[in-house]
Structure 1
Amino acid sequence: MSITPCCLKGFEWEGKPSGRIDTIGTANAYVAGDNPDVAIFIVHDLLGWSFPNVRLLADHYARETKATVYVPDFFGGEVLPFEPICNNEWDKVDVAGFLKNNSRDIREPEIFEFARALRGKYKKVGAVGFCYGGWVVLRLGAKEHQPPLVDCVSLGHPSLLIKKDIDEVAVPVQILAPEIDAAYTAELKLHTFETLQKHGVPFDYQHFPGVVHSCFIRGDPKVVGEREAMARGKNAAVSWMNQFLQEL
């Protein structure tokens, strides 16, 4: 898979993020944009809220959806080293200890609190999650929340996902799925297809051949096809958010 200039035209993956830091409830957040009516928040992967690429992605979303975009810190200030993760040197990272400190049970209440804070401030709210954030956005869109915490969700290469997360989602769902992904298994992909078609909500599944888990945030230019997939994933998420957040 080659990277084409057309695909990457207008795509900024270098340089310095242009947003600001704010506090929403108890969470610090990177913020881009200033729309008073529409918000999107990105639930980060293991690289966390301070990873430059996720902030540049937030800048893109803000420009291209005209929304206010948040990247909250949902790891309580804990930051894993970027370089070994980006290089797949997992023996240099205490992932088990990190996930123990940031388990679903520990982090879910504060994530829901953040979503409620945005829901109280904005007319429309969308959520985008990558890796760790994948299970989060499905939980945000679960039928238990009345009224809904979010209006739509998009998730890329989800991890820590269980079938119940898929079973209970009740808002429009977009899946960005790399072909090679040990976390989002063939079994979970099949369950996604079979289940969401029965839910009566809009469902968009996008397949990304030849790329692996983490491509949508890492966007490594040294890996053939990865930056192209990341740009395509950005475009897909922007389009999905625009469909369901701009009809005020």
Structure 2
Amino acid sequence: MSFNPCCLKTFTWGGTPTGIETKLASNDCYVTGRNCETAILIVHDLFGWKYPNVRLLADHFAREINVTVYVPDFFGGWVVDWKAVEEDRWGEIDLDGVTKNQSRAIRGPEMVACARAIKTELGFKRLGAVGYCYGGWAVCHLASKKQGRPLVDAISMAHPSWLVKEDIDNLTVPVQVLAPEHDQSYTSELKSYTVEAVVKLNVPFDYQHFPGISHGALVRGDERNKGEREAMERAKNAVVAWFRQHLE
């Protein structure tokens, strides 16, 4: 598995995140919100836990769903050079190294530990998980029957990458998918398989198609580009409505 160039599409929103930085399990973590019973775990994309867009989304979810939101660092302190990406200096980013260092085998156990810490150590009764790009496979990992008892109560994934059919086959909780029309990572074949497989699992399912939108735009879209601002807002609202329904 590797990162496609489309994973590097970026545009930083305005605004200042309002949460704090702390620790979750052994990971650095951004936290926002004050609900003591219901939480959401965000698994970030290639741009990492410090990227302003993902923190602003976390703030939105905390306010609009009335939850506490955790955004752990699942890249071991590595942060992509956002400026290099915005200036199309792709050669300065070691994507092969990132793929190796952020593999499923390395980061999967950290994600499980964070989810368990939220429910066991911190005492939250309900936990949702939402993943963007790289985070797509991760939330499926947390919702897999291979974990034994599900670690999360519902998941949402937007333009997932590194996803394989087995991830979908093993899902056990309500599933939401936000799928841009143009996506080299989440292919048409995999989209079709997702719909066919999840329906057979007999779990609540929400699949939303975003016509004209490309991979990455639902968290890193450019507000100046036609349709992307509306798509980002629609995606945010969809996640809010989904977790309001399945975490209350």
Equivalent positions of 1:71-220 (< 5 A) are 71-86=71-86, 89-120=89-120, 121-220=123-222
Q: What is the SS of the residue equivalent to 1:77?
A: coil
CA distance in 2, matches of 1:227, 1:20: 27
For residue 61 of structure 2, what is the aligned residue in structure 1?
61
Q: What is the SS of the residue equivalent to 1:14?
A: coil
Contact 1:86 1:218 survives alignment (8 Å): no
Aligned CA distance change for structure 1 residues 187 and 194 (closer, same or farther; 3 Å): same
Aligned CA distance change for structure 1 residues 45 and 86 (closer, same or farther; 3 Å): farther
Q: Deviations over 1:134-157 (max 9, x none)?
A: 000011111122321000000000
Q: Deviations over 1:2-35 (max 9, x none)?
A: xxxxxxxxxxx42110001111110111111010
CA distance in 2, matches of 1:89, 1:157: 23
For residue 5 of structure 1, what is the aligned residue in structure 2?
none
Q: Deviations over 1:88-122 (max 9, x none)?
A: 65333211111111111110011101111112120
Letter paired with 1:240 = W
1:242 pairs with 2:244? yes
Letter paired with 1:103 = S
For residue 16 of structure 2, what is the aligned residue in structure 1?
16
Q: What is the SS of the residue equivalent to 2:147?
A: coil
Report the more deviating stretch, 81-90 or 236-245.
Answer: 81-90
Q: Which ranges of structure 1 fall in alignment gaps of 5 or more residues?
A: 1-12
Letter paired with 1:42 = I
CA distance in 1, matches of 2:86, 2:64: 27
1:191 deviates by 0.6
Contact 1:21 1:28 survives alignment (8 Å): yes
Aligned CA distance change for structure 1 residues 86 and 154 (closer, same or farther; 3 Å): farther
CA distance in 1, matches of 2:88, 2:139: 25
Q: Deviations over 1:62-95 (max 9, x none)?
A: 0000000011100000011113334665333211
Q: What is the SS of the residue equivalent to 1:34?
A: coil
Aligned length in residues: 234
Instruction: Name the TM-score, length of structure 2 as normaliser.
Output: 0.91
Contact 1:31 1:71 survives alignment (8 Å): yes
Q: Which ranges of structure 2 fall in alignment gaps of 5 or more residues?
A: 1-12
Contact 1:38 1:124 survives alignment (8 Å): yes
For residue 36 of structure 2, what is the aligned residue in structure 1?
36
CA distance in 1, matches of 2:168, 2:65: 26
Instruction: Name the TM-score, length of structure 1 as normaliser.
Output: 0.91
CA distance in 2, matches of 1:229, 1:87: 24
